Structure 1
């Protein structure tokens, strides 16, 4: 059975998918009421699953009449994706940022589910059992090399 965070994430992604502009505006309290949860649960889902690394821009206005606006940031072309990879990865990259980039590329259909799974496994701190900053440097080199090979197909 899925947990409440998964259900909220899926609901928001469905709304985004159905939106012609790729933008959704929600009120935290209304969404919390819909899912019978506290507003902080909505905050948690948005802050962990709708990040810029995962391809989302989030804007929040608090107070009466406040809202949360989530916008999907699509990667338009292969050249733009390659530039994005170079900017995101750089000389070193931590595991969270690497996984966010992989997620974004999978969501944009530049990577298959299987490719994304393999990339996540390869850049995991469980596999790269090295001390920092060497671990993040090797992760960056591995990730760039694998993405260049996969995106050149």
Structure 2
């Protein structure tokens, strides 16, 4: 059985998919009532699963009549994706940013689930068992080389 965070994430993704403009506005308390959870659970899901690295822009307005707006940021075309990769990765990349980019490419179906899993394994801190900042430099080189190879078809 999936946990409440997974259910909330799937619900929000479904709402985004059904949206004509790729964005949804919601009330945190209404969503918490729908899932019978505390509003902080909604904050947790949004802050950890709907990040810029994963391809989402989140805006919130507090106070009476406040809302949370989640917008899906589409990746550029395949020809522009290489520049996006080089820009995102740079000379160093931490594990969180690397996994976010992999997630974004998988969600946009530029890479398969299997390829994404292989990339995650290759750039994990367990696989690159050296101290920082060298680990982030090696991760950047590996990830950039693997993604460019995968995306040049």
Task: Give your verdict on TM over 0.5.
Answer: yes
Unpaired runs of 5+ in structure 2? none
Q: Map Cα deviations across residues 82-122 of structure 1 (whole Å, 9 max, x no partner).
A: 12111110000000000000000000110101000100000
Instruction: Give the CA deviation at 1:76.
Output: 2.8
2:10 alignment partner in structure 1: 10
Matches within 5 A, 1:112-131: 112-131=112-131
Instruction: Determine the C-alpha separation between the residues in 2 that align with 1:25 and 1:57.
Output: 12
1:89 alignment partner in structure 2: 89
Instruction: Determine the C-alpha separation between the residues in 1 that align with 2:75 and 2:11.
Output: 22
1:19 alignment partner in structure 2: 19
Unpaired runs of 5+ in structure 1? none
Counterpart check, 1:38 vs 2:61: no
Instruction: Determine the C-alpha separation between the residues in 2 that align with 1:150 and 1:101.
Output: 14
Instruction: Determine the C-alpha separation between the residues in 1 that align with 2:74 and 2:151.
Output: 16
1:149 alignment partner in structure 2: 149
TM-score (norm 2): 0.98
TM-score (norm 1): 0.98
1:76 alignment partner in structure 2: 76
Counterpart check, 1:108 vs 2:112: no
Instruction: Determine the C-alpha separation between the residues in 1 that align with 2:5 and 2:22.
Output: 21
Instruction: Determine the C-alpha separation between the residues in 1 that align with 2:32 and 2:80.
Output: 36
2:62 alignment partner in structure 1: 62
Report how many aligned residue pairs link the two structures: 153
Instruction: Give the CA deviation at 1:80.
Output: 2.4
Q: Map Cα deviations across residues 38-64 of structure 1 (whole Å, 9 max, x no partner).
A: 110000000000000000000000111
